[in-house]
Chain A
């Protein structure tokens, strides 16, 4: 059973000349499996740093990051890549797909990185794509897809390795309102049915209704902005 994501007073400092910039200031958060959390805040507030540390892309200066119960704050780079592969599903801003792979291969490459692609993996990939309404699009390349379809492929790719944690970085940045709602509702649905701990970093206040909790990031400090769960509209 996966244990979700937990950060315990995580700080990140950057040295800029003689000055010390605090990108994250003692951030603590806990995201349970099946919980969909949003982090909002102005740009430059540390949202991306937060997501990078949660996603094992960046090491914190201080504090503990527990992914599925395992502290990843001190692991070497090589093991971090492995953690990203097995424990984290990233949904990045639109168009962050590999351009010359078709939709099905986008998913299978994740398995290829981990070792071999089995027929069961292919079946799982097809199932995920069908669930996200992409069954007809499996052999298309990213350039033939609309922005919403690309993001749905990204969601499927994030789920491909059955990770414990889903991290979404502005997943709706280049989508119109209708597509944005579609994409985020799909993320929310996948998070609920597959019991993932999910964090979405966004500017988009329209989409917060899909989330169980909303945190606000300001100058590297994270605070809960809506203690009561917002009902899903």
Chain B
């Protein structure tokens, strides 16, 4: 992309899937300018639609094609991005009257539909965690209940609550760890076969964080089972209580 070739642009690589190659030309809807793909960029979309980066002069020509649409502003720009450390948006905002200064995160939140979409996804995530807490808790509770007679025997021959509680929690830990590992493998497998156009990316850091959260949830919900074990009466082991 350079000033000498004002109609050469960079496009998001998802256009490749639609058959575009470097050197191909296209015309944007509602414009007359022919644009040529000079290269591809990765993960640059707006509302899940491929973005195209073009020289600012060309952009002005396209965006303000209708006479007077630039409201008389000379060389209009939409936004100026600053990259670096220790940038204080408030200080800059005070120095530039008539403009709006926001952080990048804030600007992203302002994209129409972004908040709603991510909100929905995070709500689903949140509910999944709540639901998994219940399912895992009930699963281990049922396992514990089925073994309540054996816990009674163990108590009768002298097992302390601490011993049995530790046994339950360590078993839940091992089972959860193994099933989370299987879950991660399945997720990676699914991610591998998802269509390319799907806006889905598996970040290692998120996988780790969610795995830990899930493990913590499993251990917390196993406390319900531990409580049941504590309540089991060792007298049960003698068969009947007179």
CA A63 – CA B240 in complex, angstroms?
23
B158/A52 in contact, CB under 8 A: no
- What residue of chain A has the Cβ atom nearest to residue B156's Cβ? A90
**Known interface pairs A23-B242, A110-B158. Does A57 touch B235 (Cβ–Cβ under 8 Å)?**
yes
CB distance from B196 to the nearest CB of A (A): 48
**Known interface pairs A49-B242, A169-B238. Does A96 touch B153 (Cβ–Cβ under 8 Å)?**
yes
In the assembled complex, B15 has its CB within 8 A of some CB on chain A: no
**Known interface pairs A98-B150, A99-B150. Does A92 touch B160 (Cβ–Cβ under 8 Å)?**
no
Range, interface on chain B? 10 to 19
CA A113 – CA B234 in complex, angstroms?
15
**Residues of B with C-beta under 8 A to A99:** 150
In the assembled complex, A141 has its CB within 8 A of some CB on chain B: no
Q: Which of A92, A97, A114 contacts B156 (CB 8 A)?
A: A92
B237/A82 in contact, CB under 8 A: no
CB distance from B161 to the nearest CB of A (A): 8
**Known interface pairs A98-B153, A99-B150, A113-B163. Does A57 touch B234 (Cβ–Cβ under 8 Å)?**
yes
Q: Which of A46, A78, A85, A92 contacts B237 (CB 8 A)?
A: A92
Q: Is the interface of B mostly helix, strand, loop or mixed?
A: helix
B159/A92 in contact, CB under 8 A: no
CB under 8 Å from chain A, chain B span 120-167:
150, 153-161, 163
Name, among B155, B234, B235, the residue most crowded by chain A CB atoms within 10 Å (CB to CB).
Answer: B234
A113/B156 in contact, CB under 8 A: no
In the assembled complex, B189 has its CB within 8 A of some CB on chain A: no
CA A21 – CA B242 in complex, angstroms?
11
**Residues of A with C-beta under 8 A to B155:** 81
In the assembled complex, B241 has its CB within 8 A of some CB on chain A: yes
B158/A81 in contact, CB under 8 A: yes
Q: Which of B156, B241, B242 contacts A84 (CB 8 A)?
A: B156
CB distance from B242 to the nearest CB of A (A): 5
CB distance from A165 to the nearest CB of B (A): 12
In the assembled complex, A157 has its CB within 8 A of some CB on chain B: yes
**Residues of A with C-beta under 8 A to B234:** 57, 84
A92/B238 in contact, CB under 8 A: yes
Q: What is the 8 Å Cβ interface bit string for chain A, positions 57-91, against chain B (1 contact, 0 not)?
A: 11000000000000000000010011111101010
CA A215 – CA B104 in complex, angstroms?
87
**Residues of A with C-beta under 8 A to B199:** none
Q: What is the 8 Å Cβ interface bit string for chain B, positions 152-184, against chain A (1 contact, 0 not)?
A: 011111111101000000000000000000000
Which residues of B are interface residues toward A (Cβ below 8 A)? 150, 153-161, 163, 234-235, 237-242
The 10 closest A-B pairs by CB, nearest first: A85-B158, A84-B158, A81-B160, A48-B242, A113-B159, A49-B242, A96-B153, A113-B163, A57-B234, A98-B150
